[in-house]
Chains A and B, each alone.
Chain A
């Protein structure tokens, strides 16, 4: 906070202040707090990101069914305005909380921290968070989860990974969903897998069909659950 002062004239003074505030760091610090809180309560948390309609909710439905015997699960759902996804997941008998994000394009660590006030963290051991459908913005805002998963589907074309490399740099696991549609789209999921590994060699990849559950076991393994 070194200040330099210089007098322009008798009345006005200009002053240079160096706040050094990193706006993005503020979110990171909150995310770190969330992480500590989750660890303290022995809750594993997963942030599921991905473009609109990639199959995030369908995959969460699959995950909930397969993981219910092993974990006490709660699902946090960032939704712009509706509760459609929350109802879909709630049918499987787990606690679902909606965070209304209004027009916001992503969840951030602060809204998640506030949602924690509505969950009894001692009663759950797995928290699945569905982020807002958007391939770009959520990647910039870690929430404090142990794992970050990015879902893409083959219907988004062959270039979405190459076009959004920074999104995948922030992912621990990538899901290539809608594998049943790959032949129709003339896309080889293995080629998408190769692309993401070029960007981030240690990323884990699962190729899934969220309607049938095909590949979901691999996803669970990739998330180390």
Chain B
């Protein structure tokens, strides 16, 4: 639902980064999205496609990698992927924060991110860079 807002921030961040490196064009943007965030990959891509029009990001490829959820238990030290339970009444699989080892409530340590991991930019070679030649 807030994918447009997120995509806006992504584009702004990439533009800033591109400007810092004197980019002529941005070719690729790599994004990692945690499966425990509420972000839909398709919606992000859709918003991105609209936002990059008429910027140096136009025609760039947005490559999204999804990351699994990981939990950690403060009580017993368990660390692992998030468990899926089967709800007894409805037989619907539901993810749970309950620690599989000790039963206490664990906390989410991975899978909630929306990170710009890398971008590939095209830049005009700086011809004045070398004063000797």
The 8 Å CB contact of B2, one of A10, A140, A165, is A140
* Residues from chain A with Cβ under 8 Å of B92 in the complex: 159, 162
Stretch at the interface among A18-26, A59-67, A176-184: A18-26
Q: Cβ of B115 and Cβ of A137 under 8 Å apart?
A: no
Q: Cβ of B87 and Cβ of A136 under 8 Å apart?
A: no
What 0/1 pattern do residues 97 to 119 of B give for CB contact below 8 A with A?
A: 11000011100100011111111
- CB under 8 Å from chain B, chain A span 13-54: 13-26
| C-alpha gap A10/B117 in the complex (Å) | 28
Count of interface residues, chain A, beta-carbon cutoff 8 Å: 41
* Residues from chain A with Cβ under 8 Å of B1 in the complex: 105, 134, 136-137
Q: Cβ of A19 and Cβ of B6 under 8 Å apart?
A: no
Stretch at the interface among A69-77, A91-99, A199-207: A199-207
Q: Cβ of A202 and Cβ of B105 under 8 Å apart?
A: yes
| C-alpha gap A162/B90 in the complex (Å) | 9
Q: Chain B interface secondary structure, helix, strand, loop or mixed? A: mixed
Q: Cβ of B112 and Cβ of A201 under 8 Å apart?
A: no
User: Is the C-beta of B37 less than 8 angstroms from some C-beta in chain A?
Assistant: yes
* Residues from chain B with Cβ under 8 Å of A7 in the complex: 125
| C-alpha gap A16/B115 in the complex (Å) | 15
* Residues from chain B with Cβ under 8 Å of A17 in the complex: 17, 21, 118-119, 121
13 pairs of residues in contact across A and B, judged by CB atoms under 8 Å = A7-B125, A11-B125, A12-B125, A15-B121, A16-B119, A16-B121, A18-B117, A22-B113, A134-B1, A169-B36, A195-B94, A199-B98, A202-B104
Q: B residues within 8 Å of A by Cβ?
A: 1-2, 5-6, 9-10, 13-14, 17, 21, 23-24, 27, 36-38, 85, 87, 89-90, 92, 94-98, 103-105, 108, 112-125
Q: A residues within 8 Å of B by Cβ?
A: 7-8, 10-26, 104-106, 134, 136-137, 139-140, 158-159, 162, 165-166, 169, 191, 195, 198-203
Closest 6 CB pairs of A and B: A202-B105, A22-B115, A23-B114, A18-B118, A105-B1, A24-B114
